[in-house]
Amino acid sequence: MNGAEVTFSYLEELNEIQRAAVETTEGPVMVIAGPGSGKTRVLTYRIAHLINIGAAPWQILALTFTNKAAREMKERIEKVVGPKAQKVWAGTFHSLFARILRVEAHHLGYPNDFTIYDTDDTKSVIKEVLKQMKLDTKVYSPGAVRSRISSAKSNLITPKAYAVNEELMTYDRMNRMPLMHMIYDKYVKKCLRAGAMDFDDLLLQMFRLLYQNPNNVKAKYQAQFRYLLVDEFQDTNFLQYEIMRQFVNYEDSPRNICIVGDDAQSIYSFRGATIENILQFETDFPDVQTFKLERNYRSTQHIVDAANGVISYNQRQIKKKIWTDRMGQNKIKVIKTLTDTEEGKRVADMIIEQKNRHSIENTEIAILYRTNAQSRVFEEYLRRFNIPYRIYGGLSFYQRKEIKDLMAYMRLTVNPKDDEAFKRVINYPKRGFGAKSLETLVTFAEDNDISIFESIPHVEMRGKAKTVLVDFMRLIANFRTKAEKANAYETAMYISKKSGITELLKGDGSMEGMSRLENINALLDGMQEFVEDDELEPGEEIADKSLAKYLQNIALITDMDEDKDNTDVVTLMSVHAAKGLEFKSVFVVGLEENLFPSYMSLSDPNQLDEERRLFYVAITRAAEYLTLSYANSRYQYGQMRFNDPSRFIEEIPPENVDSMIPIKSKSEGGGLGTPKVLGSFKPLKQPMPKINAKDFVANDPSEIKEGMKVMHMKFGEGEVLSIDERQVATIHFDQVPESPQKRIMLQYAKLQILK
């Protein structure tokens, strides 16, 4: 094989547009890469091609968002050009800029061996500043303060500029944080004095380095990096783009910048990403050559058409038409259920059906949701059906710290002898009970063969430790008293508030803190659902809604050994986490107004557009089978809430859907249209009752009598056959042919008298 064949054979693997994007090496280039269009191949082959036509590897700067992406990029390049691929400057923004700053930081007043502060370090410094300023951490939450400082840095706003920015100052005053600018200033000075940069500084100081040293440092790196490539450009923030411009916008510059991305997959504004960067790129670089990768190699025609249909509702976008030659016979399925619990069961049912009917492996299936807190109900049904699963990039719902913390309080309430629960919460939230004091208790308990809780009255404690233990024993005693009188949900609500967990999480204004609070609320909502479930289990004489019973049920559900070696698992993840991945079968769940799209986006057209892009990302993860599901009702903050189906379902072209759902056309301009039968989707095993959930009004249980016709939220119309002395009603439901007779505890029943 001669040299020419070795050098250019890889070009034969590309389609016409991909090849043009790879071979156009000079000047600004924009590659708009639709989902499944071979973006990574184009990017890596472009770098390999640059090297093969004479560029030195160290003259190429390739910026990515993850170390994994950079690693894979180098591996692919190496397959084409050999070991010299390792000399390409390929890595994340933070890692490559840290590498440069290690050489040049002295120009900024930092030592070249500066420390990099992680999130915990940053919060520690902020707490120190708050302490020195004698500010209340419940108002000035360290998490919220860190988030504000990060946002300011990402927008090139210094402490001095912050203090004169009326919009920022007004926002802070509205949030009872008027001294935020002073905290920011003191934080920056502390970091500089310590010779430390946080993660945001790695970008901010990189910009300062280039901007403030144009004739030496900037000129040096402009000369070195002749070619700049940026992956996932739609995810860049204001500061990242300004740094790139410093590299390529200078006199006599060849402006060899190549950006690769897709405006339709811009979904990270909450992290500071701005879609403006990619939408305005052609304005900033008028001589740009644009290549649109519109062929989708991943998904079938129905899925691609659905994606095109949905994204067409966004006004601000770079127009493109994704296409595929993978026809496929499977239209998009839509599951409509009355409750989110039933949604979990139906999704698990369909997974089993797909596995049996189409021989799909677990690893080829994904369940995608808008928020991580939604995983609970799907996890529970997958466990019940013995379907192995894994949470991608995170923990199972009941393994999340905040859930284990609250559950530990509940376990200790039911059983004060639970040593593991005691050790977990004795100093959470922090009470000033140290490790040595706990060790004293544990040692005494072991020596005397009693529980830690039982050892408390017998161990001599002094000062703060003694006060903490007395207060803690009183707290648990109050919880036990509450549990004796109240149901599981009421007790858990009481525990979450009185323990201080809810207040602690509410005080953390960061995204992580909000997510933890969402998980707590999801747990409580599940407990309210447990309490209000009025159907008696077979053989059950009376409904037990106690905290002890709830914990028993959860223990049985979660007692599934997690086989770490099992790789054939269904994947559960948020849509944000799914970007860049693909599966043979995808379930997008919780598709309701106020959930997906999020209620926070409904008043802002730009945020609503981003929610639509998020849905676009979700459905284009599917290769062959796409199932969408929604529930008419779900518990939120302990109350049953009723939501309409997501507008995104209605925006899918009807010819691509196999179900019975209300459809609207663009010309109708909103509202649900007339239901149309589309195909022949397999009916529910238990047909949905014909009931408008919003109009449902339950009667007082004492009004229910034998012989009455009643309406049940879950089972539809029924006739009360009998009511025994325990006030358990036997009701016949015609719409539940498999098991029409249900035993329902009237104390918890929600029945509407029809006649």
Contacts of 533 (CB under 8 A, 6+ apart): 543, 748
User: In this structure, are residues 486 and 494 in contact, taking their beta carbons and an 8 Å threshold?
Assistant: yes
231 in catalytic set? yes
In the chain, the N- to C-terminal Cα span, in Å, equals 88
Choosing from 39, 255, 612, 743, the catalytic residue is: 39
Give the CA diameter of the chain: 93
Tokens of 351: 């997974």
> Which residue is catalytic, options 24, 40, 290, 636?
40
Cα 496 from Cα 517, distance rounded (Å): 11
Q: Is 265 among the catalytic positions?
A: yes
Q: What share of the chain is helix, strand, coil (3-state, %, to 5)?
A: 50, 15, 35
Q: Going by C-beta distance under 8 Å and a sequence separation of 6 or more, which residues neighbour residue 154? A: 200, 203, 237, 238, 239, 272
Given the DSSP bridges, would you call strands 29-33 and 675-678 parallel, antiparallel or unpaired? unpaired
Q: Of 606, 596, 605, 579, nearest to 648 (Cα)?
A: 596
Query: Which is the catalytic residue, given 198, 232, 418, 651?
Result: 232
Q: Which position among 265, 300, 354, 620 bears the catalytic label?
A: 265
Euclidean distance between CA atoms 330 and 333, whole angstroms: 8
| Strands annotated E in 262-378 | 289-293, 332-339, 365-369
Whole-Å CA distances, 221 to 97, 227, 254, 267: 11, 11, 14, 31
Do residues 284 and 245 lie in contact, with contact meaning Cβ atoms separated by under 8 Å?
A: yes
CB-based burial, 115-132: b 16+ in 10 Å, e otherwise: eebeeeebbebbeebbee
Residue closest to 640 by CA, chosen among 394, 354, 339 = 339
From 172, 201, 231, 342, the catalytic residue: 231
Query: Which residue from 365, 341, 351, 342 is spatially nearest to 568, judged by alpha carbons?
Result: 365
The whole-angstrom separation of Cα 185 and Cα 181 is: 6
User: Is the N-terminal amide bond of 701 cis, ω within 30° of 0?
Assistant: no
Q: Decide: helix, strand or coil at residue 285.
A: coil
Active site residue 490: no
Instruction: Given the residues 431, 612, 621, 743, select the one marked as catalytic.
Output: 621
Query: Annotated catalytic, 5?
Result: no
Active site (catalytic) residues:
39-40, 231-232, 265, 621
